[in-house]
């Protein structure tokens, strides 16, 4: 059991090596620790926003999407969407929003755990957090397409609006409505998290792989 544990966790760094090349072993910790911190912060900030422009709302209506909730002019946008047969926004990604805080917290813990693992297993621990922004965007696209392609045929304007897929980035147009979608600060922090993880894992490999190879040679 002890041997298997050491195989996963990897060798410890001898004190004399740490003293000689301290920053070589600190940088992976700094990068991965910063990534975990940014991912925590991102949970409390909006990831995405959309502004809907309509003749009766010259200033536009804006909705901001967090990982676990939506804020802004949600009810007003739902009112307009009702006329074209689109379901209320709150019906989208209900499961994802309900588990998001717990799921991201687990990702943070996995990234922190990677700091203490000095083998290739560190990369496996950090990979879920690395791909989290891509998963968020894919899920967002799925629900936007699902809502836009499954309009209620009984809606007042159903005959004049064909099924569509609202863009998750940039401008779109549906009938007399125009939308402008953009990433928000939370998603940018999550993307920065991914970058820090890549940099951290690269530094991690450079620091610890020689020690792992040396340990394997010592054990035959």
> What is the extent of the structural domain holding 80?
22-205
In a domain, 85, yes or no: yes
In a domain, 9, yes or no: no
Q: Domain total for the chain?
A: 1
In a domain, 27, yes or no: yes
In a domain, 78, yes or no: yes
The model's pTM: 0.91
pLDDT at position 8: 72
pLDDT at position 5: 65
In a domain, 219, yes or no: no
In a domain, 70, yes or no: yes
> Three-class SS string for the chain?
CHHHHHHHHCCCCCHHHHHHCHHHHHHHHHHHHHHHHHHHHHCCCCCEEEEEEECCEEEEEEEEECCCCEEECHHHHHHHHHHHCCCCHHHCCHHHHHHHHHHHHHHHHHHHHHHCCCCCHHHHHHHHHHCHHHHHHHHHHHHHHHHHHCCCCCCCCHHHCCCCCCCCCEEEEECCEEEEEEECHHHHHHHHHHHHHHHHHHHHHHHHHHHHHHHHHHCC
pLDDT at position 219: 62
Count CB neighbours of 82 within 10 A.
15
In a domain, 3, yes or no: no
pLDDT at position 4: 67
In a domain, 215, yes or no: no
Q: With a cut of 70, list the residues of the chain below it in pLDDT.
A: 1-6, 14, 16, 18-19, 218-220
């Amino acid at each position: 059991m002890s041997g298997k544990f050491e195989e996963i966790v990897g060798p410890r760094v001898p004190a004399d090596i740490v003293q000689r090349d301290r920053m070589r072993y600190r940088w992976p910790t700094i990068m991965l620790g910063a990534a975990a911190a940014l991912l925590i912060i991102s949970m409390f900030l909006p990831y995405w926003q959309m502004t809907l422009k309509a003749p009766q709302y010259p200033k536009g209506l804006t909705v901001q999407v967090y990982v676990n909730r939506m804020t802004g002019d949600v009810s007003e946008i739902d009112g307009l969407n009702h006329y074209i047969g689109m379901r209320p926004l709150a019906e989208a990604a209900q499961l994802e929003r309900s588990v998001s805080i717990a799921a991201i917290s687990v990702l943070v813990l996995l990234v922190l755990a990677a700091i203490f693992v000095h083998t290739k297993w560190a990369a496996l621990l950090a990979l879920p957090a690395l791909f989290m922004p891509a998963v968020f965007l894919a899920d967002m696209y799925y629900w936007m397409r699902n809502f836009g392609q499954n309009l209620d045929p009984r809606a007042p304007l159903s005959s004049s609006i064909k099924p569509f897929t609202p863009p998750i980035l940039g401008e779109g147009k549906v009938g007399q409505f125009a939308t402008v979608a953009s990433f928000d600060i939370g998603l940018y922090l999550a993307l920065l998290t991914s970058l820090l993880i890549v940099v951290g894992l690269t530094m991690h490999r450079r620091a610890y792989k020689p020690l792992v190879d040396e340990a394997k040679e010592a054990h035959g």
